[in-house]
Amino acid sequence: MFIDCARAIIPTFVLDRFAADVTLSDQTRSALLSASQHASGWRGYRVSLSPSARHAKLRPTTSVRPLQPSILLFDCRGSTSQPGDLIEAPETSTIEAARHIHRKMTELTNFYKRIFNRNSIDNHGMGLLSSIHFGENYPNAYWNGAQMIFGDGDGEIFCNFAQADDVLAHEFAHGVTQFLLGLGFWDQAGALNESISDVFASVFRQWRMRQPSDRADWKIGSTILGPKAIERGYTCLRSLSTPDAVECIAPQPKHMRNYDADGDPHINSGIPNHAFYLASMATGGNTWDRLALVWYSALASGRRQPNMSFEEFAKLTIARATALFRNTTDVPRAVEQAWRDVGVI
């Protein structure tokens, strides 16, 4: 069993591995080790909002749902105090990361509205909070239960997390999962939690680039790799198509025969990740037109299940595929076969 509170995209075992690499600079190793220790201190963590954040409109004050949720950005200025100083008019800010996040967050909320008819993370127009420049060369990004946090990266293994569309979408999806299934962060439920974030991060990236499933690279974190990671032959953090590939910084099992009962959720998430990939390739076309609708429908099934297993989620996706695509058998059949191919059912 592995338990944690925040939902970070880089697992601690990856941070620890590179922190022990003596070929990296002392500054990088220190940043990686500090990030690992910070993650270890998340248990029991509570967000302490600054005055500027306390006055921010996290939820609309009326029953009318806003067409566009407010997007609030904060600058931690290298500190670990959250959320930091409010950035006025982030869309025109001189801070590049602020402009980028505001633009991509707008695209992301539009994506959820157009594809899933979802209004922000909570579906009620919840204001979206993000903090940039968190910590000193902090090599991670995470959802803390109330907002998204982005570090600048150590500069050698990981680069600025605020610039990565799939990182932003991954952390956003953790918030959506929190409001819907309420998955825990342990055992198979934790792996599903991570997988759902990877799936919707990949779909968002494909939607933005208008890539059908057979043209997508299916990689997570390809744009956050620093020069030292690229030198070592890494091309991504994780891959939905080839979870066990050596090009992944954090290779994962893609079949239940290799499930690690004591593993970090980031490890075992490769199995449901690969199931989504296989189903998408079998149905073809755009993932956001069919397969993403099935996964979202399962996520929004109406009952919180913090201890959900792979098999329970698999059966739920098969049922939702059957309900959504009554006039065809190819989608339900592809979903069921994908879960069989990874050994879940």
- Which residue among the candidates 156, 171, 194, 336 is catalytic per the annotation? 171
- 266 an active-site residue? yes
- The answer to whether the beta carbons of residues 37 and 168 sit under 8 Å apart is no
- Which residue among the candidates 170, 266, 274, 336 is catalytic per the annotation? 266
- 102 an active-site residue? no
The length of the chain is: 345
Residue with tokens 């200025």: 77
Q: Which residues are catalytic?
A: 171, 266
